[in-house]
Amino acid sequence: MSGELLFRARGLTKVYGTGTAQVVALRAVDLDLMAGEFVVILGPSGSGKSTLLNILGGLDVPSAGDVTFRDHVLTGASENALTQYRREHVGFVFQFYNLIPGLTALENVQLVTDLTRNDPHERGAEDPAEALRLVGLGDRLDFFPAQLSGGEQQRVAIARAVAKRPDVLLCDEPTGALDFETGILVLEALRRANRERGTSAVVITHNVGIAAMADRVLRMRSGAVIGTTVNAAPCEPADLSW
């Protein structure tokens, strides 16, 4: 970790709806995330995990409070500025992989690196095949999504997110649709991207076991961060027992 502050959130509050339909999804959350950190967010369903991640990723805006990414103030930024922020700095990984069925693994990743390459703000996309090797899919470059297992498809999605060299990977239940063994391979891929590329990662999960591999664990309940644990010696994904 470089000691550089990546995200700083203060008093983040999100209220959905009005009147009796009102839901307070986030209640004055304060959060500092350092560059290079691998953070896991745990919490029961409805505790505000996705809401927090979406606000950090510029996919949603808070009702109150502030969030900054490095020296960019995200709160109140225009839709164009948020789009540019997402494109340049954030790699998203969701529960379902959203690969394009008619393109091979390599082409799915290339789609993103080609876009990045044509972006005047880009700072050099990664070689798509190299990104796939990073996630252990060097021997699956020419496979179509239908020819890949769920875990392999998710690793293509991670390669796609990594290949544009984001500063942070924001992952919402990346192992949610996978079994234990497969989930571990996905975690290994994320951890490698974090260690070898220095890419920060925020990973939402319901699985307490995953927390052991994080540098830091945030526990959420009812829209608040109710606890933070620092792992001085995070364990390797392969050593996890769920």
Contacts with ligand ATP by CB under 6 A lie at 16-17, 23, 25, 43, 45-51
Min dist CB 22 to ligand ATP, Å, is 9
Min dist CB 50 to Mg ion, Å, is 3
Q: Please report how many Cα atoms fall inside a 13 Å half-sphere around the Cα of residue 151, on the Cβ side.
A: 16
Distances (CA, A) of 55 to 20, 165, 207: 24, 20, 22
Which residues in the 25-64 window bind Mg ion by CB under 5 A?
50
Q: Are 138 and 132 in contact (CB under 8 A)?
A: yes
Q: Please say which residue, 60 or 88, places its beta carbon nearer to ligand ATP.
A: 60
Which residues in the 174-213 window bind Mg ion by CB under 5 A?
none
Name the binder of 17 from Mg ion, ligand ATP, none, CB < 5-8 A by kind.
ligand ATP
Min dist CB 17 to ligand ATP, Å, is 5
Min dist CB 116 to ligand ATP, Å, is 28
Give the span between the Cα atoms of 91 and 116, in whole angstroms.
12
Count of residues in contact with Mg ion, rule CB under 5 A: 1
Give the span between the Cα atoms of 17 and 8, in whole angstroms.
26
Which of 103, 240, 229 has its CA nearest to residue 183?
Answer: 240
Alpha-helical segments (H) within the chain: 49-56, 79-89, 105-118, 128-134, 150-163, 180-197
Q: Please say which residue, 23 or 208, places its beta carbon nearer to ligand ATP.
A: 23
Name the binder of 199 from ligand ATP, Mg ion, none, CB < 5-8 A by kind.
none
